[in-house]
Chain A
Amino acid sequence: MMAGTDAGTARLISKNGITALLEALIGEWEVLAPVQLREELAFEPITHASQAVLDFSNTTRPSKNAIFPPCEVLFRYDGQEVHEPAFGRERVVFAMRPCDARSFLLLDNVFSGPPSQDPYYAWRREHTYLVGLACNHPSSTCFCSAVGGGPFDMRGLDVFLTDLGEAYLAEPVNARGAAFLERWAGADSGWYQEADPSAFQRKQELARQAERKLQIGAVLANPLVPSQTQERLESQYEHQLWEALGQKCLGCGACTYLCPTCHCFDILDEADDGSGRRLRLWDCCQFPLFTLHTSGHNPRPSGKERIRQRIMHKFRYFVANYGEIACVGCGRCVRSCPVNIDLRYVLSDLLSDQGQAEMTMNTGQCG
């Protein structure tokens, strides 16, 4: 996309300019940016521009937390009185990766699709501006381009930043983004500079490099086609892989809690006599409690059924429901699995034409 699109005008913002822009934003809005929490990076509200880490591979925790928090109070009550939570200021998620932006579009299907509108999610979505940061150096565990995304994919974002070294190319992706840039990086802001064609050339070169890096040694060499993936998985329900994975899987929630598209939740009432609160908490399909019936029966009694559910949900059921794969290829589950269950290899085994005959390393079954 070149300068001067319908959405507005792209501009160059120097590195110092970004700091000034952030400082200006912090004064008025809630700014969520990648922050170093000991050894992890997570999107947290910042009070000073220097807290934002803008040079990173990807954040440990996904941006999802900004629109779908791990724990939120739906309402409190005291006797007959019910208090709904007050929403705060306008917000901006700053420097999120394109993979995380895609996850927001996928989550929209669930939380603000035609069948149901979630008011808590909808408020955050509407009042949260999304400023993306192009992924110049995808990690070797990344596979966004295999699941319909890309390191320079602008979809879902309002503003798209590309780190050109000395400055950022800031492109409005939609009218919201154009308005955002007009307000926070307008001609009178002091950090406005019109982007010349060379900036776009530089960006395109960076995009090509990033795409190339994703191709080198890619485990999933061919992009997954949602309908074909769904169809293929329909015949893999009894694949011997599930048993093998279930045997190895610890049954923890590291993969789901760091996943930008996992969205299962539980509703919990905390009551104390006449007062209390109702909470929405992330839940996790890898826990036995997730499907435990009141009777004591558990339809997913072991790791085999649980890990199958997680993968089937993302690559089969979600496709059936919404036409898209619920994975953005961020690789967080690959990196965080304590026992190195690698989704890329699991998929390549499940989708391979050899079917049951061929299983690669890491799927747990030997002999």
Chain B
Amino acid sequence: MRMETVAEVETKLRELAGVLLAEGKVDVVIGYERGTLPLRTTPCFIREAEAAGKLVWDATCEHNLARYLRSQRGRVAIVAKGCDARAITVLLSERQLARDQLFIIGVACQGVVDRRKVQAYLADRELQQATLAGAQVVFGGEGWQESLPLKELLWDGCLTCRQHTPLLYDALIGEPLAGDSEGALEEYADVAALEAMTADERWAHFSSELSRCLRCYACRQACPLCYCPECFVDQTQPAWCGKTDETTDLITFHIVRALHSAGRCADCGACSRACPVGIDLRSLNRKLIKDIKQWYGYEAGLDPDALAPLATFRPDDPQEFIE
């Protein structure tokens, strides 16, 4: 059977969104529309069937739109990639969303573009336009044009992703993708590199990365699972975390945030992609994800009925660490 093209998926997506709105099944469709810069899309909130034609679907749909769900009223349809659907599943299992108010438009995703890989590839050249043509990305600037395979520009997380096709959806656009059980890369190769470091090396790595943090909190704000009404860094009585740009304070914020998402993080990478200075935030989460899987046989967002290991107590839990 022939694979559907991205354009065909996009057409179906627009049709479905139009029907959902026209028939009054939902009040809003949260999706992506074309952005203002090359290789950028921007989240959009569509309330009229006639506007569904604005929706786009391709490898530049990088945002995890699940972060918008909690603030929406009424019945909401959302375009969800595999990782986005995992985040939605976590939100559902944490009782943050009403399932009957939600219509998940699952889209099988082959990975999203990493803008930083594009920038690294371009070096000093300025990208003025770019188009996705099948498996190629065609770049253009002042007096030059060239193309590169899309797979060389994909977000690292997409290369180890095992859930390209959403596990949870009300409608699936596009056919399930083959090879979901195995990613393009060995699943925890990046974590192995981190584990191979000495404790001092790891500390040096994280200190140097996190010392560049602006404290803009784009990571937290982009994360669908960072939904505390008041973040611990914003609390003043007591002040859990200093407010300065000193490395100690910056590291405290990021480590506590990572630990708070342990066993919950769906590894969508929204935090890292949102970071305006390109801090490697994901590696903090990746180690935790691996440990949770290894110790508890649990991966966040795969099963809405599974108990979250760090929010559950069983009397027969092994407790060797106390003895």
Contact = CB atoms under 8 A, between A and B. Distances in A.
A338 B40 contact: no
A288 B37 CA distance: 29
Given A339-B63, A361-B34, A366-B51, A40 B42 contact: no
Contact of B277 (A60, A70, A334): A60
Given A71-B245, A281-B244, A252 B128 contact: no
Contacts of A84: none
Interface stretch (B82-90, B104-112, B187-195, B214-222): B214-222
A281 B234 CA distance: 14
Most chain B beta-carbon neighbours within 10 Å: one of A37, A139, A251, A362: A362
A51 to B, nearest CB: 16
Interface in A175-201: none
A66 B119 CA distance: 26
Contacts of A139: 126
B214 A258 contact: yes
Interface residues of B, number: 48
B34 to A, nearest CB: 7
Contact of B45 (A38, A248, A257, A362): A248
B216 A366 contact: no
B35 interface: yes
A30 interface: no
B312 interface: no
A340 B222 contact: no
Contacts of B242: 270
B216 A254 contact: yes
A38 B278 contact: yes
A39 B118 CA distance: 12
B278 A253 contact: no
Question: Contact residue range for chain A?
Answer: 35 or more
B214 A254 contact: yes
A257 B216 contact: yes
Interface string A231-274: 00000000000001001101111101110000000101010000
Interface in A325-364: 334-336, 338-342, 344-345, 361-362, 364
B69 interface: no
A340 B278 contact: no
B218 A38 contact: no
Contacts of B243: 71, 266, 268, 279, 281
24 contacts: A39-B120, A39-B277, A40-B212, A57-B124, A57-B126, A70-B215, A70-B245, A71-B246, A250-B221, A253-B215, A254-B216, A279-B244, A281-B245, A340-B37, A340-B42, A342-B36, A345-B36, A361-B34, A361-B36, A362-B35, A364-B43, A366-B48, A366-B54, A367-B51
